[in-house]
Amino acid sequence: MILTLTLRPGESERALVGMCEKKLRASCRFFRILKKSLDARNKSDIRFVYTVECDRRPPFRPPPVYETVKGEPPKVVIAGMGPAGLFCAIRLIRHGIRPILLERGRAVEERAADVEAFFRTGALDPRSNVQFGEGGAGTFSDGKLNTQTNSPLNRDVIDTFLEFGAPEETGYLGKPHIGSDNLRTIVAGMRRFLLANGAQVRFSSVLDDVVIRDGRLCAVGVNGAREDADFLVLSVGHSARDTFEMLLSRGFLIEQKEFAVGVRVEHLQSEIGRAQYGEGFAALPPADYKLVSHAGERAAFTFCMCPGGYVIPSASEEGGVVVNGMSNFARDGGNANSALVVQVKREDFGGDHPLAGVAYQRRLERAAFEAAGGGYRAPVQLIGDFLSDRESYYFGQVRPTYARGTAFVPMRAILPPPIIGAMKAAIPDMDRRLKGFAAYEGVLTGVESRTSSPVRIVRDESLQAAGIRGVYPCGEGCGYAGGITSAAADGIRVAEAIARQFLG
C-alpha cells in the first residue's frame, strides 16, 4: 500500500508506522519511506509530507541481474574519475568489463590534504585541487543529488550511492544531498570496489593524446606514453582545458556552449531560515532557496545553493580566482551561500573559436586574481554597495567564509556590464520573493565562472564522438550533464552502450 502522510516539525517519524497500521488494520511488517519533502507554503502550518510504502508482509524484490560479456572483454579506458567516470566504471564491472581509470589528480584522501593546504597557504597544485582529483569537482560541493532531468537512470544513481554508504535519507528526500564530508568516504569505497573487481586505477595520469586511425580509436597517450585501447570514455570534467585543446587538435568536433557566470552571495543562514519558515524554525532543516529573475535584459538565477556552507577557493590554474560553494552533511555553518549567475551568450565570447568560452572564463578569473591583489584572495563587495555603485570598506554581520582572504573590489571592475546589469536588476526582484536577499550587509564574492562546461564535444546517436568510432564523450565536461546525478546517469548510459556490443 502507498500512502501520503504528514507530520509537524518535532513529531517522531515512528508515528508513521502507527498511521500505516490504522490504514492496514493490521500489524505493519513492512514499512519504508519513499519520499519526504517539506511544505512551508503556510508558515503557520509547516508540515513534512511523506510518501510511504507499507504492507502486512515484506514484498519480494529480486536483486538486479546484469548480463556479462561473452568472450574476451574489450579494453576500455576511462579518462576522469568524477561521477560520470566512476559510475561508468561501476556499470562496466557489473557487465564483466574491467576498465582502466585515469585520473590526473590524486586519491581522494591525498586530494583532500592538497585542497586543505591550498586553503591554508595558497600553494596550488594544478593537478590536485577542488576541480581535479578522485571524485571530481562535485566532491567539494554540497553533494546535491536532485536534478531537473527525468532519466530512469536517476534511481540507479541514488541506489548506487546508498550501496556505497550514503545516508539512508538520501533515498527518499525530495532534495537529497550527501555532503562533502560523506562524499569523500563514498568515493573511496567506490574505488575499493573497482579495484577488488579487476579494474585498474591510475592516479597522476593525464590523457595527453588520442590516436585515431581510419576514423577509429586505436591508442591513447598517458603521461607521454602510448598504449592500445578499444574504447575511450571522455569523462574529463568541465575544467580540463588542456584536454579540450588536445582533442581539438586531433580532429574532434567541438562546439561552443553557453554557460553562466557571476558571484557567490552569502547571507546569515538564520536570516534565510526566518525568511523561508518564519519564527520558530529551529526544529526545521537548514532552509534553502532557488530563485530566477527576468527583471533585467538577461535572466539571472541562483545555482548550487549551500545551506550552512562555505565559499571555497576553487582555482585549477595559477593566477586565477574561482569560487564555488561547499556544505558538509550537517549544513551547520553560520552562513548560507549560493551562486548568483547570469547567462553568457556566444556573442560575449568574442569569436567563433570552439574554445572561446574557455578564454572568456580565464579572463574573468585572472581579472579577479589581479584585482584582489594576488595570493588567491577573492574580490568582495557588500550587496548594498553593489546596488548603489559604492565601494565597500567594512563587513557587517555577514563575514565571508572564503578561506584565502578577501579584498574589497567593486564587481564592475571584474564582470562585464551585461552581467552587472542583470545582477543589479535581479537582486531587488529576488528580494520580493525572499525577504532579505537584498540585505545591505550580504556579501558578494567573485568570480563564479565554472558553473558548467564552456564546450560540447559532439557525439552522435550511438553516443560516440562525431566521426570517430570508439570514443565516448561523457558527462558534464563534454557538455552532456549538469550536476552529480545527471553526470553519473550519463556515465551509466555510456557503459551500457559499450557493453551492448558484447552481450548476447
* CA neighbor of 254 nearest in space, from 392, 356, 154: 356
* CA neighbor of 472 nearest in space, from 498, 434, 442, 501: 498
Architecture of domain 76-256+455-502: 3-Layer(bba) Sandwich (3.50)
> Is 282's pLDDT higher than 80?
no
Which of helix, strand or coil describes residue 461?
A: coil
Residues in CB range of 354: below 8 A, 6 or more apart: 244, 248, 254, 255, 256, 455
Element holding 312 (H helix, E strand): strand 310-313
Strands 231-234 and 76-79: parallel
pLDDT in tens, 366-397: 999 999 999 999 999 999 999 999 999 999 99
SS3 content of the chain, % helix, strand, coil (to 5): 30, 25, 45
- Calculate the average pLDDT of the chain: 96
Q: Are 407 and 371 in contact (CB under 8 A)?
A: yes
CA distance 246 to 291: 38
pLDDT value, residue 71: 86
> Is 465's pLDDT higher than 80?
yes
* CA neighbor of 114 nearest in space, from 54, 34, 184: 184
Q: At which residue does the C-alpha cell 556573442 appear?
A: 347
Domain ranges of the chain: 2-55, 76-256+455-502, 259-448
pLDDT in tens, 15-64: 999 999 999 999 999 999 999 999 999 999 999 999 999 999 998 888 88
pLDDT in tens, 325-337: 999 999 999 999 9
Q: Is the bond preceding 447 in cis, omega lying within 30 degrees of 0?
A: yes
pLDDT value, residue 350: 85
* CA neighbor of 325 nearest in space, from 312, 307, 340: 312
pTM score: 0.96
> Is 280's pLDDT higher than 80?
no
Question: Which of the four CATH numbers 3.30.930.10, 3.30.499.10, 3.30.70.2700, 1.10.10.10 does domain 2-55 have?
Answer: 3.30.70.2700
CA distance 106 to 492: 23
